Amino acid sequence: MLRSALPKPVLTHDRNCCVALFSRCTEALGALKKLIAKGFSGDKIAAFGTISPWMVSYLSQLDQPPEFPRSMVLTLQNNESVVVIGFPATSVSRERDNGNALDKTHILSLLFTEMDIPVANLHDYASALAHRQLLVLVRGSSPEVEKAAELLATGTEIEVAVYEGVCT
């Protein structure tokens, strides 16, 4: 049921996470809502990716969704818009407020650092983001991450990867 085109990470700690890749924002948001409905707390889930101008317009008309209290839409230097949902929004806000120029790779690097995902996988996910795909990430215990992977492997995802022993 689980599949990944990415190489297996080197295990360095007793920490775990799951990364799912989606081609549409609505699919990624649906996956986040499903995780929340199944009891995953907001401090264990995140999403990041490029969104279309239409989606930016749509999201700007909505109130802050109660299930995603930490979410933000950013316009990058190249006028591309990205959405950041969940725990990484704090780090991204801090970087932006400190005057640091943000691009997708920088934000992804912040996210990987915060989750302690091996940097060797950064290029693969940056490439996916360049193709307007969205990442949904879950961190937690091994059983939590396995449950998340099962919930995310619904057929609408492009891939689901589980990293055991590497994430906070």
Q: Would residue 25 count as lying in a domain?
A: yes
Residue 23 lies in a domain: yes
Alpha carbons 119 and 117: distance in angstroms, whole number:
6
Cα separation, 41 vs 133, in Å, equals 23
- The percent of residues above 70 in pLDDT, for the chain, comes to 80
Q: Say if 131 falls within a structural domain.
A: yes
At residue 113, the 3 state secondary structure works out as helix
4 lies in some domain:
no
pLDDT at 67 over 70: no
Is residue 10 in some structural domain? no
Say whether pTM exceeds 0.85: no
Please report whether residue 69 resides in a domain.
yes
Report the pLDDT value the prediction gives residue 12, as an integer from 0 to 100. Answer: 33
The domain containing residue 129 runs over which residues?
16-164
Q: In the structure, what pLDDT confidence band is assigned to residue 5 with cuts at 50, 70 and 90? A: very low
> Domain for residue 1, yes or no?
no
Rounded mean pLDDT, 10-38:
79
Which pLDDT tens digit goes with each residue over 83-114?
888 767 777 888 888 887 787 888 888 877 77
Residue 4 predicted with pLDDT over 60: no
Structural domain includes residue 55: yes
Question: How many domains does the chain contain in total?
Answer: 1
Q: How many CB atoms lie within 10 A of CB 104?
A: 19
The pLDDT of residue 160 is 92
Nearest to 24 by CA among 66, 67, 69, 54: 54
